[in-house]
Amino acid sequence: MEGSIYQYIYWTVNSLFFIYGMSLLTIYFGGIILSDIAVKRNKRKSQFLLTKDIVSATDIPSVTLVAPAFNEGVTIVDNVKSLLSIQYPFYDLILVNDGSTDNSMELLIKEFELEPFDSTFITQPIPTATVNKIYRSNKIQYKQLTVIDKNNGGRSDAINAGINFAQSELILCTDADCIIEQDALLKMVRPYLEEGEKEIIACGGSIGIANDSLIQDGILKELRLPRNLVPMIQVVEYIRAFLIGRMGWGEINGLMLVSGAFGMYPRTRLLEVGGFNHATVGEDLELCIRLRVHMERLKKPYKVVYIPETLCWTEAPPDYNILVKQRDRWARGLWETLSIHKYLFINPRYRNMGIFFFPYWCFFEFGAPIVEFLGLVSIIVFGLLGWINWNTAILLFTAVYLLGCIFSTIAIYLYVRNFRHYATPKQVIELLLAAYLEPFLYHPVLLFGQMKGYYKKLFKIKSGWGSMTRKGFTTTNS
């Protein structure tokens, strides 16, 4: 009897892991099919509304770029120049200095000849930390630039301050440490011009990794693969996440996340929902869900869209230590956001979002690290008890590894075929090698960072946004 109980436990646990894994694998390969359809659709649409047509138009929406900055002195000048070099007829840049303790403000004032601007007449509908001064440039070439100097309140609070002072129809939220493609706004507004039946409440673009690439006058001049393995593997991870994951979900209007580093929203909708939530470090996910909930309650047709082209480049964590801090924060943000909106879980009032999309995030985005961790614990326990057939286990591990390699290879192939940022044979081979090494040299660290974040939330260990030490881009002046 006792042996039967142990056998029942063993097969039940294994069956649950198998069902979970096959479900996730089915979703992944479904995402590949959907993303391929979506990329082809996007290409067809781009042929009818070209960027050159948008730039010459007079009835396109105005856009404000809002970029929060905290202690970004290493890259602040180059990145502001990059943000000011964007090609778009009607746009402004609001840089929000969120109480930096380094020399960020001094560098900005000197480089852009900033002078205080009287803004007492501007209303601030979203409460934020105290705004100390508003600056504008004396140089005509920097007439679009506004710098808000405020007390520290966190990234969400800083973006909300920028939303308050913006006067445009659309808000593009980015980071001061990002390098944005010059035609990025022209591509980001295209869905707002094309869509008629459904209101676009959020639009996201792909984020690329520019570690060790060459930046000239704030513009990406030469894209290079990172020299270190950690950021190189993140290139593969980003390709999978953005091109396959978000493109696929966008095809069925199931996109629940627009990256905080590069997301565009209608300003009126942001004001209606009260801007970004500074009570969570996962503010980008939380805002997108809250916007969707807002539209569901208004019973208005809406859409969250995704642009597959890489339009924004950032510096990824260069080592394991910083990577763990980042994924710890992302895990905590996911926990907080799902807790805030737990009323959505299998709630038919919110249609597909409540019945399918939100449960997916609970079971797979949130649950995958937990299931993986429990799987490792089970292997250790069952191994010590002598319950594992190691020949079968090794075959199963090999099959899972090869399936993961196939998935990454398809993602890299789709990316190279459609966008050709990494077009040389050497670069493609390096990306494939990084993908095949990922399960051994990268994923365990990723899992540790995620479980560390969950551990902090489970035991109510206070932890803020955290810091990411940046090396800065390789820059040169023309």
Residue pair 77/71 in contact (Cβ under 8 Å)? The answer is no
Q: How far apart are CA 170 and CA 193, in angstroms?
A: 12
pLDDT over 60 at 4, yes or no = yes
In sequence order, the 6+-apart residues with CB closer than 8 A to the CB of 476 are 214, 215, 216, 221
Residue pair 79/176 in contact (Cβ under 8 Å)? The answer is yes
Question: What pLDDT does residue 432 have?
Answer: 97
For residue 72, name the pLDDT band (cuts at 50, 70, 90). Answer: confident
pLDDT, one tens digit per residue, over 142-167 is 999 999 999 999 999 999 999 999 99
Beta strands in 102-227 (DSSP E): 114-117, 131-137, 145-150, 170-174, 179-180, 199-209, 214-216, 219-222
The phi-psi region of residue 217 (left if phi > 0; otherwise alpha if psi is between -120 and 50; otherwise beta) is left
pLDDT, one tens digit per residue, over 297-340 is 999 999 999 998 888 999 899 999 999 999 999 999 999 999 99
pLDDT over 90 at 423, yes or no = no
Can you give the pTM of this predicted structure?
0.93
Pairing of strands 179-180, 91-98: unpaired
pLDDT over 70 at 100, yes or no = yes
pLDDT over 50 at 173, yes or no = yes
Q: For Cα atoms 216, 222, 226, give the angle at the middle one, nearest 5 degrees.
A: 110
Phi, psi for residue 63 in degrees, rounded to 5: -135, 140
Question: What pLDDT does residue 51 have?
Answer: 62
pLDDT, one tens digit per residue, over 261-281 is 899 999 999 999 999 998 899
Residue 155 CA to chain centroid, in angstroms?
14
Q: How far apart are CA 117 and CA 303, in angstroms?
A: 38
Question: What pLDDT does residue 308 have?
Answer: 87
Question: What pLDDT does residue 1 have?
Answer: 38
* Residues in a beta bridge with 310: 206
Q: Which two tokens stand for residue 287?
A: 């805002």
Residue ranges and CATH numbers for the domains of the chain are: 63-177 (3.90.550.10)
pLDDT over 80 at 466, yes or no = no
For residue 228, name the pLDDT band (cuts at 50, 70, 90). Answer: very high
3-state secondary structure of 325: helix
Question: What pLDDT does residue 55 have?
Answer: 63
pLDDT over 60 at 2, yes or no = no
